[in-house]
Amino acid sequence: MLVGSVLLLGAAVLAGLALGSNPIPLPEVIAALSGGGDAYTRTVVESRIPRTLQGLLVGACLALSGVLVQGITRNPLGDPGLLGVNIGASASVVTATAFFGLGGHATIWAALPGAFLAVGVVSLIGSGRGGATPVRLVLAGAVVSAVLSAYIQAMTLSLPDVFGSYRYWVVGSLAGGDTDTLLGVLPFAVAGLVLAVLMAAPLNALALGDTTAATLGANTTAIRIGGMLSATLLCAAATASAGPIAFIGLAVPHIVRALVGNDHRWQVPLGLVLGPVLLLTADVLGRVIARPQEIMVGVVTAFVGAPALLLAVRRMRAGT
C-alpha cells in the first residue's frame, strides 16, 4: 500500500507540473526539470514548482493532523478543526486585517498565533479537574469554535474591507505559494512531523481506552498533550500557508484506516503520502476544469474527498 501510494504521489506531482492553463506534455516537463527544453517550457514548469511543493507540505500536514486528532479523541468524525486550529487562525487573520491593516503574505504570520492560542484555550477548558478526556475536548472545541465564529461574522459584516480580504483567504488556495512562505512554515511542519512519528505507537495504547492504556503503563495525559501539540503544529503550518482547506484532515484518516487498519505506526506514513496525493489531485482538477481560470482547491477538496471518504467507510463496513 505504501509503495503504491508513493507511485500515486509521483504521478500527482508530475500532473501538477504539467497541467494548468497552459498544459505541457510530460516529456517536455521531464526535460525542463533536467535543465533541457526551451526557455518558455522551463519558465512555466519553474513557476509551478513552488505551488506543487506547497501542495506536498500542506497535504501531508493536514492528513497527519487528522490522523492524530481522530486518535486523540477516538472520534472518527474528528478533524483538525475540532481543536479550534482553523477557527483560531481565521479569527486571528480577521483581527490583524481589521485593526492592523495586514493583508497578503502578512496573513501567514497573523494566522499562526491565533491557531496556537485557540488550541491552548480548548486544552485549558477541556482539561478540568479530572484531566482531558475525548468528550471534554470535543465540547471545548465546539464552544471555542462557536464563540470565534460569532466574532468573525460580526467583524466581517461590520467591516466590508475585512470581509473582502477574508473571503479569499478562508476558502483555501495553493495559488500564490512561494519559496519564502514554505521556508517560513517549514520549521513548524518539521517539528510536528517528528512529534507525530514519535506519537504513533503511544496512540495505539490510547485507542484501547484510558483505563487499559494506564494499566499498560501509558501516560494518557502526556500522550494527549503530545498529540495535540503535534496536530497543532502541523495544522497551523498548513492553515497559515494556504488557508483553512477542509476535508483533507477528515477524509484521509478514513482512507488510511481502510487500507492498513488501526495501527497508527502505519497510518502516519501512509497519511503522509496520501494527503498530498488528494490535495494535489484536487488542485489539478481545479485548474483544468475552469481553464483558463481556476477553482480554489478548498472548494474542489470537498468534491474529491467526499466520494473517497464514502468508499472508505463502505469498505470498512464491508470488512466488519
Using one digit for the tens of pLDDT, what is the confidence trace for 6-47? 999 999 999 999 988 888 888 899 888 888 778 888 888 888
Its sign, for the CA torsion 175, 180, 183, 184, is negative
Q: What is the pLDDT of residue 239?
A: 85
CATH fold label, 2-315: ABC transporter involved in vitamin B12 uptake, BtuC (1.10.3470)
Using one digit for the tens of pLDDT, what is the confidence trace for 153-187? 898 888 887 777 777 777 778 877 778 888 888 99
Q: What is the pLDDT of residue 64?
A: 94
Distance CA 275, CA 280 (A): 9
Which amino acid is present at 196? A
Q: What is the pLDDT of residue 312?
A: 61
- Contact call for residues 222 and 36 (beta carbons, < 8 A): no
Q: What is the pLDDT of residue 65?
A: 92
Between the alpha carbon of residue 76 and those of residues 104, 252, 262, 263, the distances in Å are 35, 11, 11, 14
Its sign, for the CA torsion 299, 301, 304, 306, is negative
Nearest CA to 137 out of 211, 75, 91 is that of 75
Domain limits of the chain?
Answer: 2-315
Q: Where are the alpha helices (DSSP H) in the chain?
A: 2-18, 26-33, 39-73, 85-100, 106-127, 134-158, 160-171, 179-206, 210-215, 220-242, 248-260, 264-289, 297-319
- Contact call for residues 96 and 166 (beta carbons, < 8 A): no
Q: Give Cα 251 to chain centroid, integer Å.
A: 11
Positions of the chain with pLDDT under 70: 102-107, 128-132, 305, 308-309, 311-313, 315-320
Percent of the chain with pLDDT over 90: 24
- Contact call for residues 20 and 49 (beta carbons, < 8 A): no
Distance CA 60, CA 183 (A): 16
Distance CA 277, CA 176 (A): 20
